Chains A and B, each alone.
Chain A
Amino acid sequence: MDGKNKQVLVKPYNSALVKRDEQFEALVTIPLANIYETGNAFVVRLDMPGAEKASMNLTIESGRLRIHGTVPQLYDGQASVIVSEIGPRKKYVRDFQLGEGIEYDRVEAGFEEGVLTVTLPKAKSLLPKQITIR
């Protein structure tokens, strides 16, 4: 694994936790992420508590992976709120810049316990290769 490749292949765009997003015209929450790299893939994990699997939307366009998920109302809207730390959380959005070394067709995602896991396989050209001396 070449250290120089890392930042080029999967790079998170956003750093602020909450920002206003022009496209969604609403306050969006930027989920916290972990990324690790193995010999043949990058794996991105995002904390998206409360999001519904069915609302999850992942798109790759012009080398940008956008992850989008919606949180339904967490409790009955008629109830009176006594403590509010979670705050209004309607939409999660986060973007990652992908390098050319990712095989877009084989990207996979799973959602469990409020954590989204996206596996981005490396293209064959990036995989370690053993060269035989003739």
Chain B
Amino acid sequence: MLVRFDYPGTLNSFLDGVAADDYSSGISIYPAMDVVENEHASVVVAELPGVKKEDLKISFENNILSISGERKPFEIPQDAHVLLNEISVREFNRVVRFSHKIDGENIAAELENGVLRVTVPKAESARSRTIEVK
């Protein structure tokens, strides 16, 4: 219907007709994303804790939504000893390709509590409608 993620053997099998690309290196998916859809728009939700607005770039071209940026390392005092380091800091680039027409002028994004929400409105022609039988 909407997007397809190409990483090894996970979602493709059961997300029939859904298409997207992951150009990031490695197998692990980062950031984790949800894509949901209603009558008027698709919403792409991505978990980006610790990422600042200015380190995030969102673009839309050729019906492809691209979310890229960088999670920068935490600032820690010079004399600090690191005891545990589970959080990875890295650059990221994820792409969602839409198969229906998008109202590109009205894409909106918000970043709150480490969660990015991009609302991608469908073009008028792509919205579902009920056809009355005359």
* Interface residues in chain A, defined as those with a beta carbon under 8 Å from any beta carbon in chain B: 1, 6-7, 10, 12, 32-39, 42-43, 45, 47-53, 74-76, 78-87, 111, 113-115
Contact = CB atoms under 8 A, between A and B. Distances in A.
Nearest to A10: B83
Given A1-B81, A34-B82, A83-B15, A78 B38 contact: yes
A126 B105 CA distance: 59
B37 A79 contact: yes
A84 B79 contact: no
A12 B11 contact: no
Nearest to A37: B81
B114 A115 contact: yes
A81 B87 contact: no
A38 B80 CA distance: 5
28 contacts: A34-B74, A34-B82, A37-B80, A43-B76, A43-B80, A45-B74, A49-B115, A52-B113, A74-B34, A74-B117, A75-B117, A78-B38, A79-B37, A79-B38, A80-B37, A81-B35, A82-B1, A82-B2, A82-B36, A83-B5, A83-B15, A83-B33, A111-B113, A113-B51, A113-B113, A114-B47, A114-B115, A115-B50
Interface of B is mostly: loop
Given A36-B81, A38-B80, A115-B49, A47 B114 contact: yes
Given A75-B34, A80-B37, A48 B80 contact: no
A82 B65 CA distance: 15
A34 B87 contact: yes
B86 interface: yes
B84 A74 contact: no
A16 to B, nearest CB: 12
Contacts of A78: 38
Contact of A114 (B43, B114, B117): B114
Contacts of A6: 81, 83
A48 B49 contact: yes
Contacts of A84: 34
Contacts of B33: 83, 85-86
Contact of A36 (B76, B115, B117): B76
Contacts of A85: 29, 32-34
A32 B114 contact: no
A83 B18 contact: yes
Contacts of B36: 75-76, 79-82
B15 A113 contact: no
B83 A36 contact: yes
